Amino acid sequence: MRLLSSIALLSALALPMAAHADTFVLSGSGGGFSGSATVTATSSGNGSFTIGSINGSGAGSGIALIAPNGFQSNDNLLFPSASSVLDTKGFAFSDTVGNTSFSVDVSQAVAGGYQAFFRDNDGNSATLPVTLSLATAAATPEPASWALLATGALMLMGAGLTRRRLLHCRA
């Protein structure tokens, strides 16, 4: 039984650790626009988080995250513990309203506060001051965590059955 328990422990330790992703809710408004987005971000280990996905509501229907350096030198970093949750490069996304597609970069303004730079598919652009707030969403266990828990429970059940069989055979 000790051998089986040791094997179970060693195999659990040998599994690669899944990257821990956090979920945040960004809300903002400015220039007659308002909306909110749920973003999933992975810690970079230095107080910053890299946004990996975005799901939002607001003006349009087709919101999609733009990869880092894809629009206005965006870096898609969040700083949830800092006084300013974005840096001057910010995060970028695309959206569609009716027949108009546009890209947006939301970033820290040089003079403080936040700004949103918009550019539509016709080449029109504007920079607007925006208010922005960040909240941490409720934690959801990742599938890898559930799989590890289930594997451990199965190993313990298997160890218990093996012990019963050994005790039964000795009797």
pTM over 0.95: no
Confidence of residue 96 (pLDDT cuts 50, 70, 90): confident
Residue whose token pair is 């016709």: 122
Same domain, 150 and 114: no
Same domain, 33 and 104: yes
Same domain, 31 and 113: yes
Same domain, 40 and 11: no
User: Which residues are CB-neighbours of 160 under 8 A, at least 6 positions away?
Assistant: none
Q: What is the pLDDT of residues 32-68, one digit of tens each?
A: 878 888 999 999 888 899 999 998 766 566 789 999 9
The domain in which residue 148 lies consists of 2-16+142-170
Same domain, 120 and 165: no
Share of the chain above pLDDT 70, in %: 65
Same domain, 36 and 61: yes
Number of domains making up the chain? 2
The neighbouring-strand residues paired with 79 are none
Same domain, 25 and 10: no
Same domain, 26 and 53: yes
Of 60 and 101, more confident: 101
Same domain, 37 and 68: yes
44-47 long-range Cβ contacts below 8 angstroms, 24+ apart: 44/77, 47/79, 47/81, 47/82
Same domain, 131 and 66: yes
Same domain, 62 and 11: no
Same domain, 42 and 25: yes
Task: Report the distance separating Cα 123 and Cα 91, nearest Å.
Answer: 20
